[in-house]
Amino acid sequence: MSWSWVEPAIAILGLAVITVVSRAFFMIPERELPLPDWLKRGLKYAPLAALTAVIAPEIVMLHGEFIDTLQDARLPAVLCAAGYYFWRRGILGTITVGMAVYLPLHIGLGW
């Protein structure tokens, strides 16, 4: 008799329990849990850190390796988008400027 399904089933069940407990952690107690001030300050930066962790590799890497040429459409697009953001502080404009630089270079020139 083959028991090859047992280990994956245990892993799936364990991951499900961990997911439910971690997501319900703040709803289980009857009163609000006090958070230390240092943790509250740190949590303000969590979305920015997560976004950076996702976007930064997409900008500087290609197929799992660092890009080895400056002739990559992402680099001027990021520079222009960052410049616009620091000038106007608008997210929609930042995305628009970045794509307005990226698309002609990528599609038109093949960078």
Report yes or no: 111 and 73 within 8 Å, Cβ to Cβ.
yes
Tell me the average pLDDT of the chain.
91
Q: Can you give the pLDDT at residue 1?
A: 59
CA gap 80, 100 in Å, rounded: 9
Q: Which two tokens stand for residue 96?
A: 């628009």
What is the sign, positive or negative, of the torsion defined by CA atoms of 13, 16, 22, 27? negative
**Phi, psi values for residue 62, rounded to 5°:** -140, 120
Over residues 71-96, the pLDDT tens digits come to 999 999 999 999 999 999 999 999 99
Q: Can you give the pLDDT at residue 97?
A: 97
